[in-house]
Structure 1
Amino acid sequence: MKLQVESELEYALSGDADILLQIEVAGLSDQSLAHSTLDIGEGSAGVRIAGEDQIGERMWLRRSTRLTAHYRADAEVTRPADDCTNLRQTPVSDLPAHAVKYLMGSRYCDFTRFQSFVQDEFGHLSGGARIQAMRGWIERKFLYTPGSSSAATTAVDTFVSRRGICRDYAHVLIAFSRAAAIPARMVSVYALGVDPQDFHAVVEVYLEGGWHLVDPTGMAPVDGIAKIGVGRDAADVSFLTVYGAATLERQEVRVSRTE
């Protein structure tokens, strides 16, 4: 599937600030870029560094009064649209080194709080079938409510309130998956079907020797997702991290199919 993605950011800054920006589509084996441009406005050029697990790139910027960034890209996603239902769980003793950290607890995903619930509710299933059952449970039980959570909201908070946005849905599925001894990580993406449109958060789970995308909100098709970066949770894969004081003035994301 061919996608056109565009994002525009405008922030006011209260003095000097170091900024870590990650809004560009990653070049990967299952998605490629035909064209991309990033305009970071006036100021010093950015310094590029690799994203987590060498997926995508981040950019360090130094700004004093304003941050503006305009990104546009044409991407082709070649991954199949099938789900992971029939995939087997990889025994933890067979996991490769890069997947092991995604079994562990992280800032927003304390999986130990969910182990009993996951066993009681989904223990009769395994592997991809368990992942899909957990994904479906989250979509049915939670109410997608913009403004209902904050940067401090954890998977436990969302589980209790039963409402949140894509970031919160992803944190709960990650915690559920790790409670079932299935490595899971957050993925920042551009995606078709997201309403309201914004930077979207989904989950990748490690099954049968590979990573597989799952959207716990149910909004985005797997073949309509362009990955930006990955991490243990939202703390690792934020599209914008500001070391200083910043005020949002405007932010827009647009994703469309071009064929």
Structure 2
Amino acid sequence: MERHVRAWMRAEVQERTDVALLVGVSDAPAARESLSVRIGGAEHPVTEARDRFGNRLHLLHGLPGGEVEIAYDAHGIAPASAPRVLETDSVLHLRPSRYCEVDELAHVAEEIVGERQGGEALDAVVAWVAGHLQYVPGSSTITDSALSTFAARRGVCRDYAHLTATLLRAAGIPARCSSVYAPGLSPMDFHLVVEALVEGRWLVADATHLAPRASMVRIATGQDAADTAFMTTLAGDVALTSIQVTAVVDPELPLEDAAERLELR
């Protein structure tokens, strides 16, 4: 299986703007990869770094004012190695985070999971979120968290992921959020899913069930969407005016089996 992905963005920026991008595929090997940043007809330099989660940050410093065009392409992406499990994962990914209020939803997690453990507990949480939330584009904002999503009972992929991760952590299962390219997703966009640490493996879970997990490509991983945003303004001002994301797979899109235990590869 090979994946091909592209992200294209256009934005208006103020003079001396600094931006961090999380659009490059993580550690899955790609046959060809490119990132172009152009403003005023000229190519702007890009610096690559790694953040505390090991994500590939692409940094744009001192952008001149005007219209900037960003294009990322990766072709022939093969499956990556299985995600590594670090000794600290079982500590870090049980904690509350900006969008995941673990303590406030502990009683809900207890009711959902009961005496279940491991994979059965993971299945119970995913099924509950899928059954109790309605996917409504535009129904939430960047300030919405797991708690507000639980109350509203609707949202988009980031809301599903935050609530799933929060309930899992509250049930004693380490969980993190990962942004991905998702072949088969409709409408196509960046997508956020959850990884749960079960029996020594980071298993991918997606309560939206909008795309097959087997063909997803990891972009970035963190505690929640605050760590995985595709664009972060560090200084100055950015107004995003257009965005297009595409993700396809060869030779064909795999079928999704919700019961299958899968890792992001």
What range describes the TM-score normalised by the shorter chain of this pair? 0.7 to 0.9
Which residue of 155, 165, 168 maps to 1:164?
Answer: 155
Contact 1:77 1:223 in 2 (8 A): no
1:85 is matched with: none
State the shift of 1:117 in Å: 1.1
- Which of 240, 249, 254 in structure 2 is aligned with 1:248? 240
Q: Which residue of 2 aligns with 1:36?
A: 33
Counterpart amino acid of 2:249? Answer: R
**Counterpart in the other structure of 1:222:** 213
Paired position in structure 2 for 1:114: 105
Alignment-derived partner of residue 26 in structure 1:
26
Question: Which residue does the alignment assign to 2:11?
Answer: 11
Report the Cα offset of residue 79 of structure 1. 7.4
| Amino acid in the other structure paired with 1:58 | L
CA contact (8 A) 1:79 1:223 kept: no
Deviations along 1:81-113, one digit per CA (max 9) or x if unpaired, are: xxxxxxxxxxxxxx8213311110000001111
Partner of 2:59: 60
CA distance in 2, matches of 1:142, 1:59: 34
Once the two structures are TM-superposed, the CA of residue 51 in structure 1 deviates from its matched residue by 3.6
- 1:174 has 2:174 as partner: no
Counterparts of residues 21-170 of structure 1 (less than 5 Å): 21-27=21-27, 31-41=28-38, 42=42, 44-54=44-54, 56-62=55-61, 63-65=63-65, 66-74=67-75, 75-77=77-79, 96-170=87-161
2:20/2:231 contact within 8 Å kept: yes
d(CA) in 1 for partners of 2:73, 2:121: 37
Partner Cα separation in structure 2 for residue 200 and residue 3 of structure 1: 15
Deviation >4 Å, runs of 4+:
none
Matched, 1:258 2:250: yes
Name the SS of the counterpart of 2:96 in structure 1.
Answer: coil
Q: Which runs of 5+ in 2 are unaligned?
A: 252-265
- C-alpha separation between the residues in 2 aligned to 1:110 and 1:213? 21
Q: Shift of the alpha carbon at 1:15?
A: 2.9
* Range with greater deviation from structure 2 (243-252 or 155-164): 243-252
How high is the TM-score relative to the length of structure 1? 0.88
Which residue of 1 is the match for residue 254 of structure 2? none
For 1:44 and 1:120, locate their aligned partners in 2 and report how far apart those are by CA, in whole Å: 53
Q: Distance in 2 between matches of 1:100 and 1:118?
A: 18
- TM-score, normalized by length of structure 2? 0.86
Q: Take 2:136 and 2:109, find their aligned partners in 1: how far apart are those partners? A: 24
Question: Displacement, 1:43?
Answer: 5.0
C-alpha contact (below 8 Å) 1:154/1:171 kept by paired residues: yes
- Distance in 2, matches of 1:141 and 1:198, equals 23
Aligned with 2:184 (options 193, 196, 203): 193
Match of 2:31, as an amino acid? A
The percent of aligned pairs where both chains have the same amino acid is 32
